[in-house]
Amino acid sequence: MIPLIFVFLCMLFLKSSALFPFTNPQKSTSIALGFILLFAFLFGKQINRFKLPQITGFILAGVVCGPYVMKFLSSTDVRGLQLLDGLALSLIALTAGGEMKINRLRGRLKTISFIVIFQTLVIVGGFILFGLVARSIFPIFSEMTAPTIFAFSLLLGILATATSPSTTIAIINETRSQGKYSDLILSVAVVKDFFIIILFAFSLSISMSLTSLSRNFDMNFLLNILKEVGFSIGIGLIVGGSIILYLKYIKKELTVFILSIAFFTYQISQSYDYHPLLICLTAGFLVENFSAQGEKLILAIEKSSLPVYVVFFAISGASLNLDALKAGWLLALLCVLLRGGFKFIGTYFGAKLARDDTRMQKKSWAGFISQAGVALGMAIVIEESFPGWGGEFKTLVLAIIALNQIIGPVILQRFLVQSGEAEKKGLD
């Protein structure tokens, strides 16, 4: 706590000192980077003491220090530091692909498939229906056309389906849980994010067609979508193959190599309208399942990713428009409640049709509430793709993620304890 307070007071002194030239944008952004890296990291450590994920602390630190509260970071600083978004998103997608281990999934593939499919259908369908019904209730929809509302609701449903494998892993490790429920929940979380990123690529292109007068939704457009996704997967295989060869034969400066691959893959693919998340996801999947280099890849990412993630999540919090959130907090809360209900329905029917046991049907939805990197990454892509309403969309999603990151770990921990898979000493 003392280092956190010290860093905070130092920044407070600098901002209040007339001697320091914060009017210089370059110096201001440099100081903002150093400060938010230290403060958010320390804040995340403190949050973790309350059994909450550090990611939640990073986001809240950004909110506190951003342009709407303490104003330690200006809007210019936030925009400048968003340069790291692409790097962080690529690392997140590489990790998601690396966590998709085929050997671990084979045993319960039927239950995993049914839960993933039914959760997706129920959540996406439920949010589309909600958007069409709520268009006359919430101000955010007041100036949108019907196709735009459909696109907004479709993408919101896709993001609502995503779960956080990293948070799930953290809670399972923290409680030292072992057993079929722990394994199934983690497997579903990983498979679902893999599936959702592919579905997101299609949905993003469809939504851009629905909201653009210059793009007709016809067979040629569908072929272009398939082309974009297909080329993205093909590029991902090339990138994955390059990583395998480098890790196997060169083996030097792995951290620099992985960061370079992640950064340039995102920037170049964006320039050519391909899907960077899908490219990196495919690359990570290939390295993990078709080579002996999967562990090396994950270790290299872990060594380099923490400072990138700290800044990424903190700046995401700092970019949260609190004025817009004040007007839309009721919608965010309602979306959290709807998402929880849809998760329960999808999980129940998926597990029931797979003929899994009663506890799995009625209780395992508790393992799919947390959200983090993948959902936030997709929200940032949507913000860039839809200048008209993308900012409001991201603000809403950030609020939903923050709430889910607070309640999700608590609910999952309680389920693992009730199932008997958590060790008591793991909760001390």
Listing DSSP states for 107-118 in one string gives: GGHHHHHHHHHH
- Domain ranges across the chain: 2-84, 90-427
- Distance, in Å, from the CA atom of 299 to the CA atom of 33, rounded to the nearest integer, reads 25
Q: Please name the CATH architecture into which domain 90-427 falls.
A: Up-down Bundle (1.20)
Round the average pLDDT of the chain to a whole number and report it. Answer: 83
More confident residue, 56 or 311: 311
Mean per-residue pLDDT for 167-180?
71
Contact between residue 328 and residue 140 where contact means Cβ atoms under 8 Å apart: yes
Mean per-residue pLDDT for 385-392?
86
**pLDDT tier at 428, thresholds 50, 70, 90:** very low
Contact between residue 157 and residue 338 where contact means Cβ atoms under 8 Å apart: no
Q: Which SS3 state, helix, strand or coil, does residue 428 take?
A: coil
Mean per-residue pLDDT for 42-71?
84
Q: pLDDT > 70: what percent of the chain? A: 90
Instruction: Give 227-278 pLDDT, tens digit per residue.
Output: 878 888 899 999 999 999 999 999 888 889 999 999 999 888 877 778 888 8
- Both tokens of 103, joined, read 């050997």
**pLDDT tier at 426, thresholds 50, 70, 90:** very low
Mean per-residue pLDDT for 193-198?
81
Contact between residue 408 and residue 369 where contact means Cβ atoms under 8 Å apart: yes
Closest of 174, 53, 173 to residue 428, by C-alpha: 174
Amino acid at 311: V
Q: Tell whether the model's pLDDT for residue 343 goes beyond 80.
A: yes
Mean per-residue pLDDT for 14-19?
68
Mean per-residue pLDDT for 21-44?
81
Q: Tell whether the model's pLDDT for residue 9 goes beyond 70.
A: yes
- Both tokens of 422, joined, read 């958590």
Q: Tell whether the model's pLDDT for residue 289 goes beyond 70.
A: yes
**pLDDT tier at 177, thresholds 50, 70, 90:** confident
Mean per-residue pLDDT for 282-298?
90
Supply the pLDDT for residue 427: 44
